[in-house]
Structure 1
Amino acid sequence: MDAEYVFRVRLRLEPAAESVRVDPDSAEATVTVSRDAPDPGTEGWLFFRNALWRGEVADQRYARQLAADWLGEPLGAIESVEFREFQADEEYFDAMKGEIASNLEAFKADNVSEVLSKYLGSSIRLPSDADE
Protein backbone atom coordinates (compact mmCIF):
# COMPACT_ATOMS: atom_id res chain seq x y z
CA MET A 1 0.00 0.00 0.00
CA ASP A 2 1.46 3.31 -1.06
CA ALA A 3 0.25 6.90 -1.39
CA GLU A 4 1.61 10.43 -1.26
CA TYR A 5 0.58 14.05 -1.43
CA VAL A 6 2.46 16.17 -3.96
CA PHE A 7 2.90 19.91 -3.44
CA ARG A 8 4.60 22.67 -5.39
CA VAL A 9 6.42 25.02 -3.02
CA ARG A 10 7.81 28.41 -3.98
CA LEU A 11 10.52 29.67 -1.66
CA ARG A 12 12.91 32.57 -1.41
CA LEU A 13 16.60 31.78 -1.10
CA GLU A 14 18.45 33.92 1.38
CA PRO A 15 22.06 33.23 2.37
CA ALA A 16 22.75 32.36 5.99
CA ALA A 17 26.03 34.30 6.06
CA GLU A 18 26.52 37.99 5.28
CA SER A 19 29.60 37.11 3.24
CA VAL A 20 27.40 35.29 0.70
CA ARG A 21 25.21 37.15 -1.79
CA VAL A 22 22.37 35.92 -3.92
CA ASP A 23 21.78 37.91 -7.08
CA PRO A 24 19.18 39.33 -7.29
CA ASP A 25 18.69 40.23 -3.62
CA SER A 26 16.19 37.42 -3.23
CA ALA A 27 16.10 34.51 -5.67
CA GLU A 28 13.00 32.34 -5.89
CA ALA A 29 12.98 28.59 -6.38
CA THR A 30 10.09 26.24 -6.97
CA VAL A 31 10.39 22.69 -5.71
CA THR A 32 8.10 19.68 -5.76
CA VAL A 33 7.61 18.15 -2.33
CA SER A 34 6.11 14.69 -1.89
CA ARG A 35 4.80 13.69 1.53
CA ASP A 36 3.93 10.08 2.31
CA ALA A 37 0.29 9.51 3.23
CA PRO A 38 -0.21 7.54 6.46
CA ASP A 39 -2.17 4.30 6.09
CA PRO A 40 -5.94 4.80 6.28
CA GLY A 41 -7.20 4.62 9.85
CA THR A 42 -3.79 5.36 11.39
CA GLU A 43 -2.61 8.58 13.01
CA GLY A 44 -2.34 11.37 10.47
CA TRP A 45 -4.41 9.70 7.74
CA LEU A 46 -6.91 12.58 7.82
CA PHE A 47 -4.30 15.02 6.51
CA PHE A 48 -6.36 15.56 3.36
CA ARG A 49 -9.41 16.53 5.43
CA ASN A 50 -7.42 18.91 7.61
CA ALA A 51 -5.33 20.61 4.92
CA LEU A 52 -7.23 20.53 1.61
CA TRP A 53 -10.51 21.76 0.17
CA ARG A 54 -11.68 20.92 -3.35
CA GLY A 55 -8.14 19.98 -4.35
CA GLU A 56 -6.61 23.22 -3.11
CA VAL A 57 -4.70 24.21 0.02
CA ALA A 58 -7.38 25.26 2.52
CA ASP A 59 -5.18 27.51 4.70
CA GLN A 60 -2.12 29.02 3.02
CA ARG A 61 -0.42 30.03 6.30
CA TYR A 62 -0.79 26.48 7.69
CA ALA A 63 0.52 25.00 4.42
CA ARG A 64 3.48 27.39 4.44
CA GLN A 65 4.30 26.30 8.00
CA LEU A 66 4.12 22.64 6.99
CA ALA A 67 6.39 23.27 3.99
CA ALA A 68 8.86 25.16 6.17
CA ASP A 69 8.99 22.18 8.53
CA TRP A 70 9.33 19.67 5.68
CA LEU A 71 12.15 21.63 4.04
CA GLY A 72 13.89 22.83 7.20
CA GLU A 73 13.46 26.45 6.10
CA PRO A 74 12.16 29.45 8.06
CA LEU A 75 8.50 30.28 7.51
CA GLY A 76 9.48 33.62 5.95
CA ALA A 77 11.33 31.81 3.16
CA ILE A 78 8.19 30.01 1.98
CA GLU A 79 6.33 32.17 -0.53
CA SER A 80 3.45 29.82 -1.40
CA VAL A 81 2.30 26.22 -1.41
CA GLU A 82 0.14 24.64 -4.08
CA PHE A 83 -1.39 21.17 -3.86
CA ARG A 84 -0.70 19.29 -7.08
CA GLU A 85 -2.15 15.81 -6.60
CA PHE A 86 -2.80 12.82 -4.40
CA GLN A 87 -1.10 9.72 -5.81
CA ALA A 88 -2.14 6.28 -4.57
CA ASP A 89 -2.01 2.66 -5.59
CA GLU A 90 -5.29 0.74 -5.89
CA GLU A 91 -4.81 -1.05 -2.56
CA TYR A 92 -4.31 2.22 -0.65
CA PHE A 93 -7.19 3.93 -2.44
CA ASP A 94 -9.57 1.06 -1.68
CA ALA A 95 -8.54 1.08 2.00
CA MET A 96 -8.98 4.85 2.12
CA LYS A 97 -12.46 4.65 0.63
CA GLY A 98 -13.34 1.93 3.16
CA GLU A 99 -12.22 4.11 6.08
CA ILE A 100 -14.12 7.08 4.70
CA ALA A 101 -17.26 4.96 4.24
CA SER A 102 -17.14 3.85 7.87
CA ASN A 103 -16.77 7.46 9.07
CA LEU A 104 -19.04 9.51 6.79
CA GLU A 105 -20.44 11.50 9.72
CA ALA A 106 -16.92 12.85 10.46
CA PHE A 107 -16.86 14.27 6.93
CA LYS A 108 -20.44 15.58 6.99
CA ALA A 109 -21.07 13.75 3.74
CA ASP A 110 -23.57 11.24 2.36
CA ASN A 111 -21.11 9.06 0.44
CA VAL A 112 -17.43 8.45 -0.32
CA SER A 113 -17.49 10.22 -3.69
CA GLU A 114 -18.74 13.38 -2.02
CA VAL A 115 -15.86 13.25 0.49
CA LEU A 116 -13.23 12.71 -2.21
CA SER A 117 -14.63 15.59 -4.26
CA LYS A 118 -14.98 17.85 -1.22
CA TYR A 119 -11.35 17.52 -0.15
CA LEU A 120 -9.29 16.27 -3.08
CA GLY A 121 -11.30 17.58 -6.02
CA SER A 122 -10.05 16.07 -9.27
CA SER A 123 -6.46 15.86 -7.99
CA ILE A 124 -6.40 12.08 -7.46
CA ARG A 125 -4.02 10.01 -9.57
CA LEU A 126 -3.92 6.24 -9.50
CA PRO A 127 -1.27 4.20 -11.36
CA SER A 128 -3.92 3.06 -13.85
CA ASP A 129 -4.52 6.76 -14.71
CA ALA A 130 -0.99 7.01 -16.11
CA ASP A 131 -1.62 4.06 -18.47
CA GLU A 132 -4.52 5.75 -20.24
Structure 2
Amino acid sequence: MDARYAFRVRVRLEPARADVTLEPGSAETSITLFREAAEPGTEGWLFFRDTLWRGEVADEDYARRLAAEWLGVPERTVEAVDFRELQTDEAYFDALKAEIATDLEAFKAENVSEVLSKYLGSSIRVTDSTG
Protein backbone atom coordinates (compact mmCIF):
# COMPACT_ATOMS: atom_id res chain seq x y z
CA MET A 1 0.00 0.00 0.00
CA ASP A 2 1.56 3.23 -1.16
CA ALA A 3 0.46 6.82 -1.77
CA ARG A 4 1.93 10.30 -1.87
CA TYR A 5 0.82 13.86 -2.39
CA ALA A 6 2.50 15.83 -5.17
CA PHE A 7 2.92 19.60 -4.90
CA ARG A 8 4.54 22.18 -7.15
CA VAL A 9 6.49 24.68 -5.04
CA ARG A 10 8.01 27.95 -6.22
CA VAL A 11 10.87 29.14 -4.04
CA ARG A 12 13.06 32.20 -4.15
CA LEU A 13 16.75 31.60 -3.57
CA GLU A 14 18.48 33.88 -1.11
CA PRO A 15 22.24 34.02 -0.66
CA ALA A 16 23.49 33.13 2.81
CA ARG A 17 26.20 35.80 2.61
CA ALA A 18 25.85 39.56 2.22
CA ASP A 19 28.71 39.72 -0.31
CA VAL A 20 26.86 37.42 -2.73
CA THR A 21 24.03 38.61 -4.99
CA LEU A 22 21.74 36.89 -7.46
CA GLU A 23 20.45 38.11 -10.77
CA PRO A 24 16.72 38.70 -10.11
CA GLY A 25 15.56 36.60 -13.06
CA SER A 26 17.53 33.58 -11.85
CA ALA A 27 16.52 33.69 -8.20
CA GLU A 28 13.29 31.64 -8.52
CA THR A 29 12.88 27.95 -9.11
CA SER A 30 9.95 25.57 -9.17
CA ILE A 31 10.24 22.07 -7.81
CA THR A 32 7.95 19.10 -7.46
CA LEU A 33 7.70 18.02 -3.86
CA PHE A 34 6.29 14.67 -2.77
CA ARG A 35 4.90 13.96 0.71
CA GLU A 36 4.02 10.42 1.71
CA ALA A 37 0.37 9.89 2.58
CA ALA A 38 -0.25 8.34 5.98
CA GLU A 39 -2.00 4.99 5.98
CA PRO A 40 -5.78 5.45 6.23
CA GLY A 41 -6.94 5.44 9.84
CA THR A 42 -3.50 6.29 11.26
CA GLU A 43 -2.21 9.61 12.57
CA GLY A 44 -2.01 12.16 9.75
CA TRP A 45 -4.28 10.32 7.32
CA LEU A 46 -6.71 13.28 7.26
CA PHE A 47 -4.06 15.53 5.71
CA PHE A 48 -6.16 15.82 2.53
CA ARG A 49 -9.23 16.93 4.50
CA ASP A 50 -7.30 19.47 6.55
CA THR A 51 -5.23 20.92 3.71
CA LEU A 52 -7.09 20.63 0.40
CA TRP A 53 -10.39 21.77 -1.08
CA ARG A 54 -11.63 20.73 -4.53
CA GLY A 55 -8.14 19.63 -5.51
CA GLU A 56 -6.49 22.91 -4.54
CA VAL A 57 -4.58 24.13 -1.50
CA ALA A 58 -7.23 25.49 0.86
CA ASP A 59 -5.01 27.94 2.78
CA GLU A 60 -2.04 29.41 0.88
CA ASP A 61 -0.23 30.71 3.98
CA TYR A 62 -0.51 27.36 5.74
CA ALA A 63 0.72 25.54 2.62
CA ARG A 64 3.74 27.84 2.36
CA ARG A 65 4.57 27.20 6.02
CA LEU A 66 4.32 23.44 5.47
CA ALA A 67 6.46 23.54 2.32
CA ALA A 68 9.10 25.64 4.06
CA GLU A 69 9.21 23.15 6.93
CA TRP A 70 9.42 20.16 4.57
CA LEU A 71 12.19 21.78 2.52
CA GLY A 72 14.09 23.23 5.48
CA VAL A 73 14.05 26.75 4.03
CA PRO A 74 12.89 30.07 5.48
CA GLU A 75 9.14 30.54 5.07
CA ARG A 76 9.67 33.91 3.34
CA THR A 77 11.38 32.13 0.43
CA VAL A 78 8.37 29.94 -0.46
CA GLU A 79 6.33 32.01 -2.90
CA ALA A 80 3.66 29.54 -4.03
CA VAL A 81 2.43 26.01 -3.42
CA ASP A 82 0.07 24.21 -5.78
CA PHE A 83 -1.39 20.78 -5.15
CA ARG A 84 -0.93 18.54 -8.19
CA GLU A 85 -2.36 15.16 -7.25
CA LEU A 86 -2.65 12.24 -4.89
CA GLN A 87 -0.64 9.43 -6.47
CA THR A 88 -1.85 6.13 -5.08
CA ASP A 89 -1.82 2.44 -5.73
CA GLU A 90 -5.09 0.52 -5.82
CA ALA A 91 -4.63 -0.99 -2.34
CA TYR A 92 -4.17 2.42 -0.69
CA PHE A 93 -7.07 3.92 -2.64
CA ASP A 94 -9.37 1.08 -1.56
CA ALA A 95 -8.26 1.47 2.07
CA LEU A 96 -8.78 5.25 1.87
CA LYS A 97 -12.31 4.85 0.55
CA ALA A 98 -13.12 2.21 3.20
CA GLU A 99 -11.86 4.44 6.02
CA ILE A 100 -13.79 7.45 4.72
CA ALA A 101 -16.94 5.31 4.56
CA THR A 102 -16.72 4.53 8.29
CA ASP A 103 -17.46 8.16 9.21
CA LEU A 104 -19.08 10.15 6.42
CA GLU A 105 -20.53 12.54 8.99
CA ALA A 106 -17.02 13.81 9.81
CA PHE A 107 -16.74 14.88 6.18
CA LYS A 108 -20.26 16.32 5.99
CA ALA A 109 -20.93 14.10 2.99
CA GLU A 110 -23.45 11.49 1.94
CA ASN A 111 -21.02 9.13 0.21
CA VAL A 112 -17.33 8.46 -0.41
CA SER A 113 -17.37 9.90 -3.94
CA GLU A 114 -18.62 13.21 -2.55
CA VAL A 115 -15.76 13.28 -0.03
CA LEU A 116 -13.13 12.56 -2.68
CA SER A 117 -14.55 15.24 -4.96
CA LYS A 118 -14.92 17.75 -2.13
CA TYR A 119 -11.29 17.54 -1.02
CA LEU A 120 -9.27 16.09 -3.89
CA GLY A 121 -11.33 17.16 -6.89
CA SER A 122 -10.20 15.17 -9.90
CA SER A 123 -6.58 15.18 -8.68
CA ILE A 124 -6.26 11.47 -7.91
CA ARG A 125 -4.05 9.20 -9.99
CA VAL A 126 -4.25 5.48 -9.28
CA THR A 127 -1.17 3.63 -10.51
CA ASP A 128 0.47 0.24 -10.13
CA SER A 129 3.21 1.90 -8.07
CA THR A 130 3.99 5.47 -6.93
CA GLY A 131 7.73 4.94 -7.22
Q: TM-score, normalised by structure 2?
A: 0.95
Following TM superposition, by how much is the alpha carbon of 1:25 offset from its aligned partner in structure 2, in angstroms? 7.5
One-letter amino acid matched to 1:61: D
Q: In the alignment, what sits opposite 2:107?
A: 107
Q: State the alpha-carbon separation in 1 of the partners of residues 25 and 54 from structure 2.
A: 36
Cα distance per residue 1:45-100 (max 9 Å; x no partner): 00000000000000000000000000001110000100000000000000000000
Following TM superposition, by how much is the alpha carbon of 1:19 offset from its aligned partner in structure 2, in angstroms? 2.1
1:71 aligns with 2:71: yes
Q: In the alignment, what sits opposite 1:84?
A: 84
**Stretches of 4+ moved more than 6 A in 1?**
none
Q: In the alignment, what sits opposite 1:12?
A: 12
Q: CA RMSD in A?
A: 1.1
Contact 1:12 1:26 in 2 (8 A): no
Following TM superposition, by how much is the alpha carbon of 1:23 offset from its aligned partner in structure 2, in angstroms? 1.2
Q: State the alpha-carbon separation in 2 of the partners of residues 113 and 25 from structure 1.
A: 43
Q: State the alpha-carbon separation in 2 of the partners of residues 55 and 25 from structure 1.
A: 30
One-letter amino acid matched to 1:122: S
State how many pairs are aligned. Answer: 128
Q: In the alignment, what sits opposite 1:53?
A: 53
Distance 1:16 1:26, change over 3 A: farther
Q: State the alpha-carbon separation in 1 of the partners of residues 99 and 25 from structure 2.
A: 49
Following TM superposition, by how much is the alpha carbon of 1:2 offset from its aligned partner in structure 2, in angstroms? 0.2
Following TM superposition, by how much is the alpha carbon of 1:18 offset from its aligned partner in structure 2, in angstroms? 1.0
Contact 1:14 1:26 in 2 (8 A): no
- Structure 1 residue runs without a partner (length 5+): none
1:126 aligns with 2:126: yes
Q: TM-score, normalised by structure 1?
A: 0.94
- Structure 2 residue runs without a partner (length 5+): none
Q: State the alpha-carbon separation in 1 of the partners of residues 53 and 88 from structure 2.
A: 18
